[in-house]
Chain A
Amino acid sequence: MLILAILAVPVSMTVVAATFSWRAWVGWVSAGSCALILGLGIALGVATSSGPQWALHHSLRADSLSAFMVVVIGAVSLLATLFTPRTMRQELSGGIISARYARHYVVLMQAFIVCMLGAVVTANLGVFWVCIEATTIATTFLVSHRRTDGAFEASWKYVILCSVGIALAFLGTVLVYFAERHVPATAHGSSLDWTTLTALAPHFDPNVTRVAFALVVVGYGTKVGLVPMHSWLPDAHGQAPAPVSALMSGVLLSVAFYGLLRFRAVAVAALGPTFPRALLLVVGMASLLLATVMLIAQRDLKRMLAYSSIEHMGLLAVAAAVGSPLALAAVLLHILGHGITKAVLFLSAGEIAHLEGTTEIAQISGLLARRPALAGIFGVGLLSLIALPPFSLFVSELTMARAEVDAGLWWAVAASLLCVSVIFAAVGRHARQMLFGGAVADAPPSATDRSLVLPLVGALVVCGALGIVSWPLQSLLVHAAHGVMP
C-alpha cells in the first residue's frame, strides 16, 4: 500500500498541474506533495526494516534500498519544488517565459519525480530502464525550458548522448535476459525481476554477462555522468533552471547509480568480484581525474557545481567497486549528503545568478559583504561540498576511504585523496573570489528573502546533523547495503 501511495501522490499532482493553469498555489501544493513523499518514504523505511514490501502482483517491490532512495528523492524534490513559485515569478516577470511554459514546467517536474520514484520501486529491470528513459524525455524539455541558444545546445547534447546511453543500457538488458534464458533451471520461462536475476546469476554465462555489464556501466553511466559519456552534464546543469539542476544533480544521477548498484550485485554473483571492480574503478577514477582537471580552471559558477557532481559520482563508483557492506553503506550516505548539499548549492547559485545577472565567477565578487545571508548559505554549502566536518559528506568520504583501505586498494585511496585535496583548493579559490574578492562597495548589505533562507538553512542543518549523529539512518543504511550484496 505504501508503495502505491508513494507513486499515487506525484501522479495525482501531475494531473492537478496539467489541469490548472499556472498559479502560485499550484507550486505550493506540489511542494506539499513532495513533503508527503518524504514522509511516506520514511514510513516505507520503517516498514521495510522487517523485509521487502510488494505491490501490484509483485510488479513493484521495495526493500530498504528503495525506501532510502525514496527518502533521498523526497528530500531533494521538496527543496527543489519549494523554489518553484519563486523561479516562476522571476522568469515570468523577467519575460523569459510565458504562462504556458510555466504550466509545462510544473507538469514536467512532477512527471520527472514520478519516473524517478518508479525507477526505484519497480521490481523489474525492464521497467527500471523505461523509467530512466522517461526521465530523459522529461528533463530534455526542462533543460531547454528557457529556450535560449545555450539552452537548446545543452539539451541537444543531452538528448543525443543520453539516448545513446539509454540504448546501450537496453542492449545490456537484452544480453542479461539472454543469459538468463539460457540458464537450464529456467526452462519454464524467465523474468527480469531483480530478485530472480540475483538468485540465478551464479549460473549465467560469464562471457555474456561480462559484455552485458560493460554495456550497462557505459549506458547507465551516461546518466550518472561517468567518464566516457559525461560531456552533457556540465552543459545541461549549467543551462537548466536552478530547481531542475538541483533535482538532476541531486537525485537523477543517484537514481541511475542505484541501477548500477543493482546490476553490480548481479554481475558479482555471475562473474566474481574482479571484473566489476576493475570496470567501476576505471570509470570512477577517470571521472574523478577529469573533474579535478576541469574544476581547477573553471570560469562558470554552475558548471563548477556540475563538475563537482562528476567528482562525487566518481567517488561513488570507486567505493562501489570495493563493494563491502561498509563501502556500500557509505555510498548511500554519500548519495543523501551529496543530494541535499548540491540542491542547496544549485538553488542558491540560481538566486545569485538571478541577482547578479551572470554566472561567471570572475564577475561575481564581494558577495559576503553585499548579500550576507545568501552568500553565507552558499559558502557553508561549499564547505559541505568539499567534505569538511561536521557535514555528512565528510563522514561518508572517510568511511569510503576506510573501506577501500580494508580492501587493499591503497593506490585508489591515495589517488582519490589527492584529487579531493586539489578540488578542495580549487573550489576554495573560486569561493574566495566570489565571497570576499574585489573592492567592496559602501552600499549597505541587502537583506535576503526569508522564504529563500529558511529551507536552505534547514537543509544544511540536516546535512550537518547527519554528519554528527547518523543513528536515525544507521539501520536503514545497513539493511539497504545488504540488499545489494550478491
Chain B
Amino acid sequence: MTSTYVATLELAAGAVLLSAVMTLWRRSVSSIVAMLRLQGVALCAVAVDLALHENDRALLVTGALVLVVKGVVVPTVLRRVAKWDPRSRESRPLVNVPASLVFAAGLIVLSYVVGTRITSLSPDDATRLAPLGLATVLVGYFMLVTRRRAVSKIVGLIVVDNGIALVTFLLTSGVPLIVELGSSLDVMLVVVVLQFLMASVRHHSRIDALTELRELRD
C-alpha cells in the first residue's frame, strides 16, 4: 500500500514537471494547452494520493477542485481565448527553443540544489519531492519572461501557479488554511487574468494587440 502511494506520488510529481518542460518545448497552442491539461490532472493525482494516504477528506475535495479548475476549466478557457489569436505558434520567443531547454535544464539542477537544502528539514516521502515543484515554478517563470505572446505568458503564469500548488501540497500535506489561500490564487488567475484578457480582446477584437502594443516605454 505504502509503496503504491509513494510510486503514484513520484510519478504524478514527475509528470507535473515534465509537462512544464513540454510547454517550453512545443510551439503550437493546442499541444501546449494539452500539456497544461496533463499538468492539472497530475496535480489532482498528487492531491488525491496524499488525501488517501492521510485520510484527509478536505484534501480529497481539493483534489476534485484542482481537477475541475486546472484540468478542465483553465485549458478550455485558454483554448477559447487562443482562437482570437491569428498566429497559432510562438514565432519569435526572446530565447530560442533549444537555448531555453538547456536553460531549463540548468534551472532544474538549481532547484534541486536549493530544494534539497529545504527538504533536508524533514525528508519524508512527500517532502523529498518538493524540488520538483520548485523546478516547475522556475520553468514557468522562465517561460513568462521569455515568451512574447499573451497566451504563452498566461501559460507561464499558470505553470508557476501549478508549481506552487505542488510545493504546497508536498510541504504542508494540504493544511486547510494554506490550501484555501492557494485556491484564492487560482481564482485570481482564472477570473481576473483571463477575464481581463477577454475584456481586452473584446476591445481590440484581437488578442495579440496587447503584446504588440509598444506605446509605453522610456
Contact = CB atoms under 8 A, between A and B. Distances in A.
The answer to A–B direct touch (Cβ < 8 A) is yes
Contacts of A150: 213, 215-216
Interface of A: 126, 129-130, 133, 136-137, 140-141, 144, 147, 149-150, 152-157, 159-160, 163-164, 166-167, 170-171, 173-175, 177-179, 181-182, 192, 205, 207-208, 211, 234-235, 238-239, 294, 297-299, 303
A100 to B, nearest CB: 14
Interface in B148-183: 150, 153, 157, 160-161, 164, 167-168, 171-172, 175, 177-178, 181-182
Contacts of A152: 200, 203-204, 210, 213
A459 B164 CA distance: 43
User: Would you list the 4 A-B pairs with minimal beta carbon distance, nearest first?
Assistant: A153-B213, A207-B117, A235-B216, A178-B171
B157 A164 contact: yes
A163 B218 contact: no
Interface stretch (B13-21, B23-31, B68-76, B187-195): B187-195
B196 interface: yes
Interface residues on chain B, size class: 35 or more
Nearest to B211: A156
B121 A163 contact: no
B218 A140 contact: no
A177 B178 contact: yes
A267 to B, nearest CB: 15
Contacts of B144: 160, 164
Contact of B178 (A126, A133, A205, A211): A126
Nearest to A148: B215
Contacts of A181: 172
Given A140-B196, A159-B196, A174-B171, A153 B114 contact: no
A456 B37 CA distance: 53
A137 B187 CA distance: 11
A171 B141 CA distance: 13
Contacts of B117: 207, 211
Contacts of A205: 121
B4 interface: no
A298 B114 CA distance: 40
A154 B213 CA distance: 10
A177 B176 CA distance: 12
Given A156-B200, A163-B193, 17 more contacts: A133-B188, A136-B188, A141-B196, A144-B200, A152-B210, A154-B216, A156-B210, A157-B216, A163-B189, A167-B157, A167-B185, A171-B137, A182-B121, A235-B216, A238-B216, A294-B218, A298-B218
Contacts of B167: 171, 174
